[in-house]
Chain A
Amino acid sequence: MIDLSLLPDGGMPWLDASGNASHLVLSTRIRLARNLADRPFSLRSSPNEREAIFAEVTEVAKETVSLRRAHAFRLDRLEPVDRHLLHERHLVSRELAGLDPSGAVRTGAALLVQDRVSVMLNEEDHLRLQSLHSGLSLEAAYQEADRLDGELGQRLPFAFHPEFGYLTTCPTNVGTGLRASVLIHLPGLVLTKEISKVLQGLSSVGLTHRGLYGEGSEVVGNFFQLSNQMTLGKSEAELLDHLGKMVRQVIEYEEQARQLLMREVATIIEDKVWRAYGLLRYARTLSFDEAMNLLSGVRLGVGLGLIERISLYTLNKLLVYTQPTHLAVAEGLQMDDPELGARRARYVRTLLEDEAGRRG
């Protein structure tokens, strides 16, 4: 079993809700896709070549400021439960963790992580540089990823084409290799049924949305990951600026939707919020999806100032530790144990009771 407590913040710098617009934006993630010029891309490379890539990159990483104190996790040597844990912390993709229904873990699949930056190795691309920040923080998160990119690029032969830019396994990532994404909570737009219009609007300006766990995941708890679709033809600064503007627009829409709800149907909203809180405080069994939806209601209540005794930090913590694997590990149960629902309800109850007691 891996010990994630060795990582500062457990690899979740967004947990403390200290960033900008934290009442709506959970985290900002920057990802840069990079490949080594002299080796076949991951899907065509042999296990030996991927081992060599792991060795080369980890060696070089020791010389960088960004990664010299990094923890290395070999996904291909971890038990499924540990791979699930890293995925639930948003540190690795489903693909890298070998959690796709078809997929096994690829030899050489690894994660290097130091503070807010990390690198996935032998994912679809040889290197996926990441930086994860609390709240809305596109510029700062990019600067960190860019610094890592500069440091590694000085020492590794990155695949770069004079016209196309950085080369990637999938042509959808060519150019900057940049995917900037913002994880945002939009219950107001969901309740006013404006959300599909907003998402359509975003897609018409080149932005895309995903669920809580990124590519291919479902939307749960009204969390949406908004990110740039195109990676080529615009500079990093332009892509970030565009996404930032659009996210701020979405934040404004969400605030307007909340105001509208409180103006027109305040009683219904208050009822929804307090029912969600009541269920979380007293339910004896909770599925993950139910917990996510109720937590979304409580988060809305906190945002609207209806519930004052719960901090965003506690809500973020609940978001992480009620996930199936985190819960199972903490409770010493198997991931498919039927007891989990009851343990989840008990955990939520305890945390909310503590918080309510502390704040009086």
Chain B
Amino acid sequence: MLCSQCHERTAVVNLHQIADGEVVLLHLCERCAAEKGVDSTSSLTKTPVGTFLASMGKGLDLPTGGATAEVTAACPACGATLDDFRETGRVGCAQCYRTFEVALRELLRRLHGSSRHFGERYRPAESEAGVPTARELREQLRVAVEAEDFELAAELRDRLRVAEAPSD
């Protein structure tokens, strides 16, 4: 795609410009972008994601997949925006992955060839804070025995006895 300013060089930067309350998307070459004050060799290119995007010839054009709301949104949990991500290549918090789900899904697909996790799933404790269930104690006991930590195993066996004892 040619630069929409000079119509000569290849566009490498997508610039969202707000004029009179309207968002205009400009495709700019590096020189015209620099004239508009956009530094296309931003710090992002030094990060793995930036290097990856650059090597894929995608420049700094983070996919938005039509979810225009994500472009201007700020994460309700940490306040980060997509621009922050573009700048640093780093995500602000876990909630960001929900806020910018469409853009990040597309990016994950490009980085890993898939956005679907097939590995271990997170299994938090089932119990109320601090009080492990008998099942959890049994699991801890198994781990302790496996690690030959017999001191801890003995303690866990005692706690398991209490946990499994019928309450009156």
| Chain A residues proximal to chain B, CB less than 8 Å | 35, 37-41, 43-44, 65-66, 68, 124, 146-147, 149-151, 153-155, 157-161, 163-172, 174-176, 178, 230-236, 238-239
Contacts and interface: CB of A to CB of B under 8 A. Distances in A.
Interface stretch (B5-13, B25-33, B105-113): B105-113
Given A44-B80, A167-B97, A178-B119, A172 B90 contact: no
Of B48, B91, B121, B139, most buried by chain A (CB within 10 Å of CB) is: B91
Interface in B89-105: 89-94, 97-98, 104-105
A169 B119 contact: no
Contact of A164 (B80, B90, B108, B124): B108
A232 B108 contact: yes
B98 to A, nearest CB: 8
A41 B91 contact: yes
A151 B89 contact: no
B77 interface: yes
Contact of B111 (A37, A172, A238): A172
B93 A39 contact: yes
A171 B108 contact: yes
Of B91, B118, B119, B139, most buried by chain A (CB within 10 Å of CB) is: B119
Contacts of B123: 150, 153-154
B125 interface: yes
B115 A232 contact: yes
8 closest cross-chain pairs (CB), A and B: A165-B117, A233-B114, A159-B94, A160-B122, A232-B112, A176-B119, A40-B78, A40-B93
Contacts of B97: 161, 164, 167
Given A35-B94, A37-B94, A171-B107, A155 B125 contact: yes
B144 to A, nearest CB: 5
A65 B152 contact: yes
B158 interface: no
Contact of A66 (B92, B108, B147): B147
Contact of A170 (B49, B114, B136): B49
Contacts of A38: 94
Contacts of B77: 40
Contacts of B14: none
B94 to A, nearest CB: 4
A39 B77 CA distance: 9
A172 B55 CA distance: 14
B103 to A, nearest CB: 10
Contacts of B121: 160, 165
A90 B115 CA distance: 31
A3 to B, nearest CB: 24
A41 B90 contact: yes
A230 B91 contact: no
A153 B132 CA distance: 13
A163 B106 CA distance: 13
B47 interface: yes
B114 A169 contact: no
Interface string B64-81: 000000000000011010
Contacts of B98: 161
A147 B145 CA distance: 13
Contacts of B136: 154
B124 A41 contact: no
A236 B113 contact: no
A65 B98 CA distance: 34
A233 B118 contact: yes
B78 A43 contact: no
Given A151-B143, A157-B124, A231 B112 contact: yes
